[in-house]
Structure 1
């Protein structure tokens, strides 16, 4: 693997040293832009010298951390020579699983150019570590804005925002577009669609990120997709499709399932898997099971941060699409292209204020009272 990284950066491992910033904490003056050893156009993005990553992150200063994943930590990284701020995901070569993730991300980034996919700025190869550098998203991850108890990232400076219905629908459509592009254009399975992997730009537009678990789609002689077998279940609890948990199979339909769970999290404000909840209600899909056939009660489970400002018809369309996405049978789920059209339709409804449930109790009657203990409604009536 070490030889592979050496080949990628175009030289032996001894040519690039992991340098510390100067002892006086002053950043060394970057060399001129025309020096090939400093910025090389190799594959997707540019290749930065490792010392530029060290200096740009202030020697991986904790206050510049944007988050930590299974295979590496992400830091805010300044590149004054190109007048740009990036997010550098640091990978240790000793982590074999991380090596595979690194290669998967580089493969996907070679083709995944889309407005709703995170852009690659470049990469860097050190003696013992490497970095993938993405565009910096000032509003961080979607998870950061949905959950008040989410630990803030030291490297982020923006405050969390309450996302209204229109913003959430825009995010839902954007993520659907990104997955359609990934499945039909890049021909890859993401395998880890979740709110934490959706980053938001300055306008709260979504960017799909983290392609470390991505796998290429394979098809049989008839052109039909063939599910791929895996040796180890990866992904995030609550988002993993049943066929993956039970039979170790993944496909684009696994992404469709994860997207359905993503929609539930986005519009209910509840985690996909909530350990403190009682058994049988930890998974968001199980928690919502009692109301799937009772659409008149859907407003009861919507994120309270939305208030009553959402169109009921859109809510019904949204949950109908979601229910199709999370079908237990993979073959029964629609394609992401079909789902995208359904979400676009739901997004087309104008936002209206729903009559508060507290004023509708006479029409719902005792059924609501009976249902509340089951769905653990967080509104107060």
Structure 2
């Protein structure tokens, strides 16, 4: 009888497994009664849990506690940030355009609350890094607008020059949004150093619960207009009764992520081992974003002649979960707009696979992946084993 292996999860960029400390925090919150808007003892206790979590998320971002607004996840956070309507020093401001990079997450690609005619795409180079000279040319003679660039790409792990982009935004009088969903727990987040007016987060990417995220502003004097209105929750910045259990879990995850962001040597070691192992099997393996600053947890690669769709099925049969470079809400494999923006041809893009590691990834997981991969290559395209780099 063939040996049964434990399932291996290598898709943290899609959603990380729940951390045990997060589960404990959520169970403790679920065992309590009370609406956080109530003034009685139970309500104040619920409010205390929310404020403890708010403080933890603020420390993760290097922001003030009152700058954190809890929302339902990364998509709502981005929709909140991507608005022409802001308050600046108490006065309403209407931003002229949205400048967003060509490799943004689909929730930013839609443009949020900006009309399509007011959206401008900023190109990236072949490594997936925003072209600063192109950005400057686009924004230098424009009325105050919003620039939106992700901290790190969900498909390739490529990190953007955020401080440089923030400096350009400041120089030309624009507002700056950073989608930091993939950054939390994987690199330091510094809203001040980036000069970002607003950053957005999602807890489930780094071991928190699904269905909770945050909008974090640099200054509470400069805030986007609320997306969800109704009650006065979250300092009038997001209406609706707060999800105390999810927020408590978010706070617990933020504490762990803050510790991990400062120490990425383990993941960097695993990434190096993966990339060396991939090339040992197929010397012509393409690693997207190679040579650029990348997250330590992400490897996006392709081997010509091995389609991502077929490889994913083969890995799933071996009880290994990873992703194509482009699978999202549809659950289907399509041509990645990220790789297209990086000038990758369609045939190569359709072969892109993404490995993304996290808090529970072990040496044994990587070893098992590298044991399975040659078998899949031999089944799908054995000639790839012999093609020179």
Give me the TM-score of the superposition, normalised by structure 1. Answer: 0.27
Larger Rg: 1
Higher RCO (Cα < 8 Å, 6 or more apart): 2
